[in-house]
Amino acid sequence: MALAVGTMAPDFTLRRKTAEGMSDVTLSDHRGKDVVVLLFVPGAFTHVCTDEFCQLSNGTQEIPGAVVYGVSVDSAYCQEAWAKADGISIPMISDFTHKVTQEYDVVLESLSGMGPASLRASFVIDRSGVITYVEVTKSTLDMIDFDGLRAAVSAAS
């Protein structure tokens, strides 16, 4: 069961790869400044994950008022290739060690028989670092509730 609303979001530092190179993303760097959305997805290059992030990237679905990060257990190199291939513009951060997926309690035991991954889940974290919204989809084939997510961001802003 994912972390509950009202819980202090566990801090982390994860890696991100862009054309400029590798960089760190640390959640606590946003504390006191930004509402943060974490979008956990099962895997790069999968159809629902691609559709979800492409809708966010092309403006079909926007989440104004928040810093949005996509999180998967794929390597930062794989995430960069996926973003480049599919025009994904939201920052992708790699939970390659699965530590953050475990801390947020959104572990998918096996993705199509290939081993553990992340469930499809969204978290809104307010400026003080508290989780104010959690959604874990019933199936990895279900997309997140963009309307619910936007309303949660608006309430946290």
- Verify whether residue 49 is a known catalytic residue: yes
Active site residue: 49, 56, 68, 78, which one?
49
Per-residue b/e over 40-57, b at no fewer than 16 CB within 10 Å?
Answer: bbbbbebebbbebbbebb
- Domains (ranges, CATH) in the chain? 31-156 (3.40.30.10)
- Per residue of the chain (157 residues), give pLDDT as tens: 899 999 999 999 999 998 899 999 999 999 999 999 999 999 999 989 999 999 999 888 889 999 999 999 999 999 999 999 999 999 999 999 999 999 999 999 887 777 799 999 999 999 999 999 999 999 999 999 999 999 999 999 8
